[in-house]
Structure 1
Amino acid sequence: MDRRGKGAWLAAMVLGFVLFWPLGLALLFYMIWSNRMFSNSKSCSRTKSFYRRDAASGNTAFDPYNASTLRRLEEEQLEFESFMDRLRAAKDQTEFDEFMKDRSRKTHDKAAQSEA
C-alpha cells in the first residue's frame, strides 16, 4: 500500500472502522506510529535510494567504481527481466500446447462416441 500513498492507508483505515472498529483503530495507531499519517511525500515508504547516478561523492577512486557497479547492476537487471520474459513465454506456450492437446483429445473422444 505504500506505493499507492497516504490515500490508500486512509481508505484502509476507514474500511477497518466500518468493518470492525478495533481494526480501524489499530491501523490508525500504526499509521501514527510509523509516521505514515504525517509524511509529506506521496510514497510513504521509509526506504529511500541512497545512490543517485548524478550525485558524486567527491572521491576519485569511489565514483568510477560506483558508476561501473550501477551500470553492471542495470545490465544484470535487464538480463534477468529478459530471462523472466522468456520463462513466462515458455510456460504460456506449454500451457497452450496442453490445452490444445486436451481439446483435440476431447474432440476425438466425442467423434468416437458419436460413431458408436
Structure 2
Amino acid sequence: MNTTALIRPAWTPATIALMVVGFMVFWPLGLAMLAYILWGDRLDGFKRSVNTEGFFRNCGKNSRSKHYGFNRTGNVAFDDWRSAELERIEEERRKLDEARDEFDAYVRELRRAKDQEEFDRFMNNRKPRSDAGSSSTEIRDPGL
C-alpha cells in the first residue's frame, strides 16, 4: 500500500479530521471513516480475494440462460428434473397467456356488439315519431 498518501488507513491528521467532520455532518460518515482507519489496510486483500467477474456475472439482464439464472447443483438428476419442471411451468404460462388473449378478444367483441346495439337504439330513438310509419333503413354490422 502507498504509505505516502494523504488519506490512508492510519491515524493521520487528515483521517482524524475527516472522521470528526464525518461525525459532525452525518454520523454514519464518521463511522465509515473510523472503520476505514481501523480495517482499511485489509481492503486490498479483500479486493484481490473477490473475483468480481464471477461475483457479478449473474447480475446482467441477459444472464438468464436455459436454467433461468439457477446454477447447476452438480446433481444431474435434480438438474434435469428442475429443467423439465421449469419448461412445464413455462408451457403452462404460455397456455395461460393464450387463454387470456382469447378472453380479451372475446370481451372486446362483446363490448363492440354492445356499443353497436346502443348506437342502433340511439339512432332509432332519435328519429322523429312521424317517421315511424315510413320504411327505415337500419345500419347493421354484417358480423352480427
Q: Under a length normalisation based on structure 1, what TM-score does the superposition of the two structures give?
A: 0.51
Alpha-carbon distance change, 114 to 69 in structure 1, aligned in 2, over 3 angstroms: farther
Q: Under a length normalisation based on structure 2, what TM-score does the superposition of the two structures give?
A: 0.42
- Which one has the largest radius of gyration? 2
Structure 1 residues 106-115 or 71-80, which shifts more?
106-115
Q: After the TM superposition, which residues 1-116 of structure 1 pair with which residues of structure 2 at under 5 Å, given as runs? A: 52=68, 55-113=71-129, 115=131
Corresponding letter in the other structure for 1:113: R
The secondary structure found in structure 2 opposite 1:55 is coil
The secondary structure found in structure 2 opposite 1:65 is helix
Instruction: Quote how far apart the aligned CAs of 1:109 are.
Output: 1.4
Identity among equivalent pairs (%): 23
* Aligned residue-pair number: 67
CA-atom RMSD, angstroms?
2.3
**Contiguous gaps of at least 5 residues in structure 2:** 1-66, 133-144
| Distance in 2, Cα, partners of 1:52 & 1:90 | 33
Corresponding letter in the other structure for 1:71: E
The secondary structure found in structure 2 opposite 1:61 is helix
| Distance in 1, Cα, partners of 2:99 & 2:77 | 33
| Distance in 1, Cα, partners of 2:129 & 2:73 | 77
Instruction: Quote how far apart the aligned CAs of 1:97 are.
Output: 0.3
Structure 1's consecutive aligned runs of 4 or more residues displaced over 2 angstroms after TM superposition are 51-55, 112-116
